[in-house]
Structure 1
Amino acid sequence: MHKNIIMFDMDGTLLDLAYDDFIWNEQLPIRYAELHACSLERSKEILYDFYQAHSHTLEWYSSRFWTAKVGVDMLAMQLEYKDQVTLRPQAIELLEYLKNNGYHIWLTTNADCAGLDFKLAHTGLAKYFEVIVSSESIGYAKERVEFWQTLQQQHAFNPEDCYFIDDTEKVLNGAKAFGIGHLYSIAQPSSAKPTRQTCNYPMLHQLTDLIPVLEQFEDTQKYA
């Protein structure tokens, strides 16, 4: 039987988003305040405005862009705290199940290439994926339909047969507009924040919740 492609986001899906929240919402304001001799409160206000101005753009995900924008070496700071990068619960269990059952596993992330590389090295996740793609190398953020069009040109796939799991609704909206057939979100991307109560896409409370979904789909295909 033909096995579907299962595409994963990285941060907030396979990895705990608490790390990124810590870097961008806690450590960067402190470093920015020190560097620019302003109060922590003022630092947070300035950074909030920066974040709002660039949210969901390709620049938003670029360490190089933010280093130039704020004057703090963002890649160096991320590496300084890399030991806080952790997998979300059941990530390995799900990936092992998919690999052992012949699914095609892809990683499609908005993390820039440098961030992707150190997180993969730290977690050992790379071995599970047939295709690993950063939006930086594609030239469009995943929120844009052009990301998916370019990905399809580089790695041929049938969108209707794909499963895609991502914690960001705007990214899922872009995938939906392109025609990805099976879309799922994450109920608790960050262990430091409460579980989400609402989402416009079905939410996985545990990553392994995807397994019965796939098994049910396979059963329906047998008798189709």
Structure 2
Amino acid sequence: MHQLPWDQIDTVLLDMDGTLLDLHFDWKFWSEYLPEAYARHHRLPLDNAKRFVRQAVKQQTGTLNWYCLDYWSRRLNLSVADLKHDLKHLIREHPDVLEFLAQLKQLNKQVIMVTNAHRDSLALKLERTAIEPYFDHIISAHDFRTPKEDIRIWDFIQQVSPYDPSRTLLVDDNIRALNTARRYGIRHLLAAIHVSPYMDKVDPRGYPHFEHYAEIMPIKKITP
């Protein structure tokens, strides 16, 4: 459990996939459902399709293309955004996320989502969950054509919603995003390591970390 100095934090930057939402939807889509669709569409053996998609995704790791549904639709000759709707029933928040967001608003924190997710994917997930009303701003890295793995994004966000890095918290399961935020000067960094009950925990690489939102609630429940 990591104790956060909430009195020293004015702005909270939150990632979406894996951090607020269970990553099982994305894992299932990219590792199983999309290769299956690719195999059917191109009449390929499933093993060949899985190998091709896995290698193609690996080549784009750390780039905005990795997250870009338009890019993958062109690359695979499939409507990737439409295919995502087939698994939308798997989209869900982590436990206690809504209470955590409600507490941030109760404490008048500026709450900003910063996600690498494509706008089409983002829209689907906001439609399927109840998180949207808690945010002052929802920012997709695609708005700036710059992923969170690029230090420039933290400056670009200032243009949309100014914040003081020394009084800002970033919560993310993407260690490379935490690295660029640290280099930019964001003071409070927290790794979300429990991305899904179906997946291995993230290695926090030395960052303060947590598994469940009950551990980092700003307002602790008083038990009688």
Q: Is 1:55 matched with 2:29?
A: no
**What is the aligned partner in structure 1 of residue 10 from structure 2?**
4
Counterpart secondary structure, 1:211: coil
Structure 2 stretches lacking a partner, 5+ long: 1-6
Cα RMSD (Å) of the superposition? 1.8
Structure with a larger share of its residues in helix: 1
Given the superposition, is the C-alpha separation of residues 198 and 162 from structure 1 closer, same or farther in structure 2, using an over 3 Å criterion?
Answer: closer
**What is the aligned partner in structure 2 of residue 142 from structure 1?**
148
**What is the aligned partner in structure 2 of residue 132 from structure 1?**
138
Offset at residue 82 of structure 1 (A): 1.2
Structure 1 stretches lacking a partner, 5+ long: 216-224
TM-score by length of 1: 0.90
Identify the structure with bigger relative contact order (alpha carbons < 8 Å, sequence gap 6+): 2
Of 107, 114, 117, which aligns to 1:111?
Answer: 117
Paired residue total:
214
Q: Do the aligned partners of 2:14 and 2:114 also contact (CA within 8 Å) in 1? A: yes
- Paired with 1:197 and 1:52, the residues of 2 have a C-alpha distance of 19
Render the CA deviation track for 1:161-217: whole Å, top value 9, x for unaligned.
1000011111111111111111111121122113346533111111232236x88xx
| Overall identity of the aligned pairs, in % | 28
Q: Is 1:162 matched with 2:154?
A: no
Counterpart secondary structure, 1:192: coil
Q: Do the aligned partners of 1:3 and 1:104 also contact (CA within 8 Å) in 2? A: no
Q: Is 1:76 matched with 2:82?
A: yes
TM-score by length of 2: 0.90
Aligned partner letter, 1:59: N
- Paired with 2:88 and 2:153, the residues of 1 have a C-alpha distance of 28
Of 132, 154, 158, which aligns to 1:152?
Answer: 158
Aligned partner letter, 1:62: C
Offset at residue 133 of structure 1 (A): 0.3
Of 195, 198, 206, which aligns to 1:192?
Answer: 198
Offset at residue 2 of structure 1 (A): 7.7
